[in-house]
Amino acid sequence: MAGSTSEEKTGIFNLRNLSGERCPDCGGTGQLRIDSENINEHFEVEKQTVITECPRCAGSGYVAAAG
């Protein structure tokens, strides 16, 4: 694997994230899922799920511990 970094090989993570609490908005997943229904030009209902990064925890799944 030419050009790979040690972070890719070892799975380094930020230890400070583990001392926080799970984000209440996303439940610790780091993602928000929003169900949406749209009506197309044939008057059919199209359902989709929009997945986006949680703005509260910036995708980490953790927020700073209260206290």
Q: What are 1-27's pLDDT values in tens digits?
A: 455 555 555 666 666 656 678 899 999
In a domain, 37, yes or no: yes
Q: Which residue has the higher pLDDT, 3 or 46?
A: 46
For the chain, the average pLDDT equals: 81
Q: How many CB atoms lie within 10 A of CB 39?
A: 9
Query: What pTM did the predictor assign?
Result: 0.56
Number of domains in the chain: 1
HEC profile of the chain: CCCCCHHHHHCCCCHHHHCCEECCCCCCCCEEEEEEEEECCCCCEEEEEEEEECCCCCCCCEECCCC
In a domain, 2, yes or no: no
Task: Give residue 64's pLDDT.
Answer: 80
Task: Give residue 1's pLDDT.
Answer: 46
Domain coverage including residue 56:
13-63
In a domain, 4, yes or no: no
In a domain, 47, yes or no: yes
pLDDT band at 45, cuts 50/70/90? very high
